[in-house]
Amino acid sequence: MTLQVTYDVTCSANEMKVVMMIGNNQSNVFVENLRGFSGCVPKTVDGKTVVKLPLDNFHLCGTTRMTNKFTGVTLYYNRIVIEQPKKPKEILLVKCVLPGDKTKPMDWEKKFRPKRNVLPDGFFEAEDLNITNIVAHAPTPYLNLAIRQNGKFLDTAYNVQPGTPLEMVIYLDQKSAATYGLLASYLKVTDGTPEHDEIILMNGCSIDPYIFGNFETPDAGKSLYSKFRAFKFPDSNYVLFVGTVNVCLKQCRGVQCGSDQVGFGRKKREIPAEMPFDPNKLYEVEMTTVLKVQFAPNHFQPKRGSVEGSYDGIQTNDMAAFKQRNSAETICSLHLFAALLSALLLVKVLRQ
């Protein structure tokens, strides 16, 4: 589909600035999966819609950072959704490319490249070299990280209650799915503060599969999914999932997660000390998604038949029923006392 919206992207070390010329005041523009999310809401100035995405703290607005493990080049990208009346929805893929540090050796260099100070014995450089032209390039992989409920993808406009069964999905775009495979190596949850920052996946294995299951793949690593139940932090209605995904040529090597160790009364998966080296690993991708988790408005309201009481002069139904029962018992006691008193008076009269 041809994009109808013209836009411009300006990159710096700290920020990606996107300016869109939409020309429709009724348009709804938001960062993908972050509809109405504070701090990431686009602003309209002089007929132009502007989105500022931080790169120094790229997790804040769900920007993805992808590092090429061979060249060191870092790519930041995000998606912006544009909804206009009587027009199909448009999604802009915006990106910034930052060069790698040439002084820092890459992982493959550390593993395979021998260090030589002199040429080896018998070295001969041919005068005529046959150079083969490159006829194709592998596509750049663009990953998606999302949460779905009953097959429907969620964003921050939707609210789920704690305990709701959910599924986290990581998948490649259609163009690169035939070339690469995925492996989730790390995942943590946070509310954006250092006080609430919990690791739930380490070195490819779940810390506790009862809370968050290990990632599985139905298609040889082209997509990954994990089942879990929604949970929330005490002081926030938003949960940020921050993860690292390896992108490998064709397919990543799986990580064996054992189940023989026992800790704290329940079986836990054995966590490898480190990820095994994978020669097929080409990219390391750091991703973020946000889930809105909030109790329903009537979640804490007393339900019929529950144990209740009165507070600040407000009387509940069960308290009223208790008072009615108490009043009935009091009246019954008074009737019994009156009957006993009448009997005593009658005995006294008969004795006279």
| DSSP string over 125-186 | --SS--PPPP---PPPP-EEEEEEETTEEE-TTS-B-TT-EEEEEEEE-TTTTTTEEEEEEE
pLDDT of residue 289 exceeding 70, the answer is: yes
The token duo for 207 is 């810390």
Residue 110's φ and ψ, nearest 5 degrees, are: -65, -35
Residues 49, 22 contacting (CB under 8 angstroms): yes
Q: Above pLDDT 70, what percent of the chain? A: 66
pLDDT of residue 266 exceeding 50, the answer is: no
pLDDT of residue 9 exceeding 50, the answer is: yes
pLDDT digits (tens, 9 = 90+) for 132-191: 666 667 899 999 999 999 999 999 889 999 999 999 999 999 999 999 999 999 999 998
Question: Which has the higher per-residue pLDDT, 51 or 299?
Answer: 51
Nearest to 211, CA basis, from 156, 176, 259, 163: 163
pLDDT at 261: 29
Average pLDDT over residues 59-81: 95
pLDDT of residue 211 exceeding 50, the answer is: yes
The model's confidence at residue 336, banded by pLDDT at 50, 70 and 90, is low
Average pLDDT over residues 21-37: 87
Nearest to 183, CA basis, from 255, 241, 111: 255
Look over the chain and give the mean of its residue pLDDT values, rounded to a whole number: 79
pLDDT of residue 123 exceeding 80, the answer is: no
pLDDT at 178: 93
Average pLDDT over residues 29-46: 90
Least confident range from 192-206, 232-246, 315-329: namely 315-329
Least confident range from 32-36, 220-224, 278-282, 300-304: namely 300-304
Average pLDDT over residues 327-337: 56
Cβ contacts of 125 within 8 Å, gap of 6 or more: none
Q: Above pLDDT 90, what percent of the chain? A: 45
Average pLDDT over residues 10-19: 95
Least confident range from 74-83, 226-235, 330-339: namely 330-339
Three-class SS state of 225:
strand
Q: What is the DSSP letter of 270?
A: B
pLDDT of residue 252 exceeding 50, the answer is: yes
The model's confidence at residue 280, banded by pLDDT at 50, 70 and 90, is confident
**The model scores a pTM over 0.75:** no
Nearest to 279, CA basis, from 75, 106, 67: 106
The model's confidence at residue 5, banded by pLDDT at 50, 70 and 90, is confident
pLDDT of residue 104 exceeding 80, the answer is: no
